Chains A and B, each alone.
Chain A
Amino acid sequence: MRFEGTSTYVATDDLKMAVNAAATLNRPLLIKGEPGTGKTMLAEEVAKAMDLPFFEWHIKSTTKAQQGLYEYDAVSRLRDSQLGDPRVHDISNYIVKGPLWRCFESEKRPVLLIDEIDKADIEFPNDLLRELDRMEFYVYETQQVIRARHKPIIIITSNNEKELPDAFLRRCFFHYIRFPDKETMARIVEVHFPNLKQELLKEALEVFFELRELPGLKKKPSTSELIDWLKLLMAEDLPPEVLRESSTRRVLPPLHGALLKNEQDIHLFERVMFMARRNREV
């Protein structure tokens, strides 16, 4: 079974290779890349394309590795014991399964997304080494070993906020999603808006890449922002001429709020456009 992208997700050759290699070798796939390039979407799409069950685990700065396996709800047990609840005698009533456990129990080979692993503490990936390596873990409270019935396809995303430990990296397959070039971008847009007028798309991409080139932007617009913007353009039913006008007459593109999300950036853009206009008049 090979992953070839889906009707809603454009995968480049190197990305396809990465996913297929990770799936064949049973290694976790670590995905990095600029924000908004579809890192999180990937796992979902892989599951959809291969028709596999999908599990996700979103990491926060307070997430502990243990929470992915299971949690022992000591507080409820304590409360139950004080209220005289009979459930209190069986400790397994208070074991709450985490996403990794549920994923290991899956009947079919599952896809597991571990999203934004860099948000967690620096030790977090190290705490998961054995679990990801052997695909099994030990539950101390009930003294049982949980083993994966089918080795899951694990996709891990990172935004590079922290460096990940070497021991962890060694076990992963790595892929860096680059910002798409114009060609790929046109394909991505095509997938999302099959009815978009060719002209409008061409003009919109020009404006978009021009905007990304602008030095000094605090937050460069990304793929997901482009798609939002196109949605708005379509909803407003703007003709392509308006866009061409904005790029030649050097004014803010219509509905720019979807692309520039920071008032300093908008201000900067206006100033640059103003200077460009003035230079032209002189």
Chain B
Amino acid sequence: MLLNFFFALRQRGLKVTLTEFLTLLEALEKRLAVLSIDDFYYLARGCLVKDETQFDRFDRIFGNYMKGIEQALSGEEGIFARIPEEWLRRQAELLLSEEERAKIQSLGGWEKLMETLRKRLEEQKERHQGGNRWIGTAGTSPFGAYGYNPEGIRIGQHESRHRRAVKVWDRREFRNLDDSVELGTRNIKLALRRLRQFAREGAAEVLDLDDTIRSTARNAGYLDLRMVPERHNAVKVLLFFDVGGSMDEHIRVCEELFSAARSEFKHMEYFYFHNCLYEAVWKDARRRFEEQTPTMEVLHTYPSDYKVIFVGDATMSPYEIGYPGGSVEHWNEEPGEVWLRRVLDTYPKAIWLNPVPESRWAHTPSVQMIRQIMDGRMFPLTLDGLERGMRYLAR
């Protein structure tokens, strides 16, 4: 039962385990979801997916799976074919006046109208999946186009309730949460672990046994408790990611680093830039033009004990680094070099990680320039490079 569904989930990279699948079956056995596809969807999601960033992927697979079932049930024409035409006709006749019915006849009669309607609906469904709103509410209902009264619009909608329910997953509300590539991050995690430093900070919390014994003895045998602060990871990291353009081919490696880094540090902030650092950075790639953070603000917000890691291929035209107005995207008042140096002045511990293999660096002038600005602290994005970089940061 549902085995195909289970394997479809696993095939598309959702890490669903057997235990979780058995939990779902157990829930079904206990009649937690009967006769409602929505209930089943919620139940399956809660049992199988434990991370809201994976919801979107789940929705897509679920949608596909359900579509397969529906097609099997209703043939090639899909779900709309199952709406009984007589029913629609009777409803419309109830609601339409004599005149209006005459008008329909003049448009080519019922058969033609239904044909068009069906086509329209099909179209609309596709557009809907592209992110537009559901038929009727967007004012593009096919019924409206034929001059029906508003009640008429609701015919289509009401009958499609079943389909609207399907749309719970078709709406794909969790799309913007999907940001993680966790596969294969293990290696990078190992290297990042080097960056962890153990520092003692904060309130005294742990009993220091040695010191307690020593001071109790000194205290003529009366207990004198000594506490020390607990060990915890005190490394703070600022990450700057280059996105877009020539970075596209490296995006996978960078995403891996990013998702590894997220779980590794207590304080970690990340920002995106394009090609070279200028006066503004951003946190959300889709809203990069609306929601920018001035670089100055970043410099003032995070204290200088943060460690800075740039990730970028440093491959660009030399003008983008060296000249005002060199940026490919906007007019920058000050050259990128100035901004890079500002960051380096604020945060002495900074490195640049480059996904381009080290052997090719010499052939690109901009890589050389950045490397010079970074005082040679550019490392390739390989395990070895990461280790070298981390060793520098941890020093």
B328 close to chain A: CB less than 8 A: no
Cα distance A164–B262 when bound, in Å? Answer: 12
Which of B38-46, B269-277, B336-344, B380-388 lines the interface with chain A?
A: B38-46
Whether, in the assembled complex, B230 has its beta carbon less than 8 Å from a beta carbon of chain A, the answer is yes
Q: Which residues of A contact B50 (CB under 8 A)?
A: 30, 164, 169-170, 172, 174
Chain B residues in 8 Å Cβ range of A170: 17, 19-20, 50
A35 to chain B, nearest CB (A): 14
Is there contact, CB below 8 Å, between B223 and A78?
A: yes
A159 within 8 A of B: no
Residue in contact with A17 in the complex, picked from B20, B33, B51, B222, CB distance below 8 Å:
B33
Q: In the bound complex, do residue A21 and residue B223 qualify as a contact, i.e. CB atoms below 8 Å apart?
A: no
Residues in chain B near residue A27, CB distance under 8 A = 23
- Contacts known (A62-B230, A176-B52); A17 close to B43, Cβ less than 8 A: yes
Complex Cα spacing A130 to B115, Å: 61
Q: Are A25 and B225 in contact (CB under 8 A)?
A: no
Bits for B210-238, please: 1 = Cβ < 8 Å to A, else 0: 00000000000011010000101000000
Q: Interface size for chain B: under 10, 10 to 19, 20 to 34, or 35 or more residues?
A: 35 or more
Residue A14 lies at the interface, judged by CB distance under 8 Å to chain B: yes
A195 proximal to B (CB < 8 A): no
Distance in Å from the Cβ of A243 to the closest Cβ of chain B? 25
Q: Is the CB of B222 within 8 A of A82?
A: yes
Query: Distance (Å) between the CB of B236 and the closest chain A CB?
Result: 15
A176: B residues at CB distance < 8 A: 52, 55, 174
Q: Is A100 an interface residue (CB 8 A)?
A: no
Chain B CB within 8 A of A173 CB: yes
State whether A25 and B55 are in contact (beta carbons under 8 Å apart), knowing that A30-B50, A170-B17 are contacts in the complex: no
Taken together as a complex, chains A and B put the C-alpha atoms of A178 and B262 apart, in Å, by 22
Residues of A within 8 A of B17 (CB): 170
**Chain B nearest Cβ from A72, distance in angstroms:** 12
Inter-chain CA distance A24–B205, complex, in Å, is 40
- Kindly state whether residue A84 has any CB partner on chain B within 8 Å: no
Q: A13 to B26, Cβ gap below 8 A?
A: no
Q: Does B290 contact A215, Cβ atoms closer than 8 Å? A: yes
B22, chain A: closest CB distance, angstroms: 10
Chain B residues with a Cβ under 8 A of chain A: 15, 17, 19-20, 23, 26-27, 30, 32-33, 38-39, 42-43, 45-47, 49-52, 55, 173-174, 205, 222-223, 225, 230, 232, 262-263, 287, 290-291
24 sample A-B contacts, Cβ–Cβ < 8 Å, listed by A number: A14-B42, A14-B46, A17-B39, A17-B42, A17-B43, A20-B32, A21-B43, A24-B27, A24-B30, A25-B23, A25-B27, A25-B30, A30-B50, A162-B263, A163-B263, A170-B19, A170-B50, A174-B49, A174-B51, A175-B46, A176-B55, A178-B173, A215-B290, A215-B291
Q: Report A's interface with B, CB cutoff 8 A.
A: 13-14, 17-18, 20-22, 24-25, 27, 30, 32, 62, 75, 78-79, 82, 121-122, 162-164, 166, 169-176, 178, 215-216
Give 9 closest A-B pairs by Cβ, nearest first. Answer: A169-B50, A176-B52, A17-B42, A14-B42, A215-B290, A174-B50, A163-B263, A216-B291, A173-B46
